[in-house]
Amino acid sequence: MTTEVSTDKVEETIYDGLVELGTERSALSREATLESLDIDSLDLVELAQIVEDEFGVELRGDDVKDVRTVGEVIELVVAKAG
């Protein structure tokens, strides 16, 4: 059972996921770069697991290798789900 995909819902899931991984909520924005948030490749794999559990969308390493900001992660998930 997966959740219906809307941009707002994806943003909420990604934000909650990043907080779960240790990022401060106050530092989160769509413009924030993954580098500035100290999000590395291990975090992205964990985030991909959260996204797949929630929306049934599978993110592979190739999908996220060029992603630079939180907003780009959200857009990628929305696009893949569509």
Partner 1 sequence: MTRRVVITGVGAITPLGVGSDALVGRWSAGECGIEDGVGRCREFDPLDSLSRKEARRLDRFAQMAIAAAAEAIAEAGIEAELPYPGHRIGCVIGTGIGGLPSLEEQQGKLLESGPKAVSPLAVPLMMGNAAAAAVAMRHGLHGHTYGVVSACAAGAHALGDASRIIRAGDADMVIAGGAEAAITGVASAAFKAMGATSASGISRPFDARRDGFVMGEGAGVLVLEEAEAAAARGAEVLGELRGYGATCDGFHLTAPQPEGLEAARAISLALADAGLSATDVDYVNAHGTSTPLNDRSETMALKLALGERAADVPVSSTKSAVGHLLGAAGAVEAIATVGALRNRLAPPTLGWGEAEADLDLDYIPGAARPLENGDGALVAISNSFGFGGHNAVLCLAA
Among 2, 29, 36, 45, binds partner 1 (CB under 8 A): 45
Sequence-ordered alpha helix ranges (H) in 1-82? 7-20, 41-55, 61-64, 70-81
Report the C-alpha gap between 57 and 48 in whole angstroms. Answer: 8
Q: Is 42 among the residues that bind partner 1 (CB under 8 A)? A: yes
> Segment near partner 1 (CB under 8 A), from 6-14, 40-48, 62-70, 73-81?
40-48
Q: Among residues 46 and 63, whose Cβ is nearest to partner 1?
A: 46
Q: Is 46 among the residues that bind partner 1 (CB under 8 A)? A: yes
Contact of 39 with 45, CB cutoff 8 Å: no
Our measurement of the distance from residue 17's CA atom to the centroid of its chain's CA atoms, rounded to an integer in Å, reads: 7
# binding residues, partner 1 (CB under 8 A): 9
Q: Among residues 45 and 79, whose Cβ is nearest to partner 1?
A: 45
The SS3 assignment for 33 reads strand
What are the residues binding partner 1 (CB under 8 A)? Answer: 21-23, 38, 42, 45-46, 49, 52
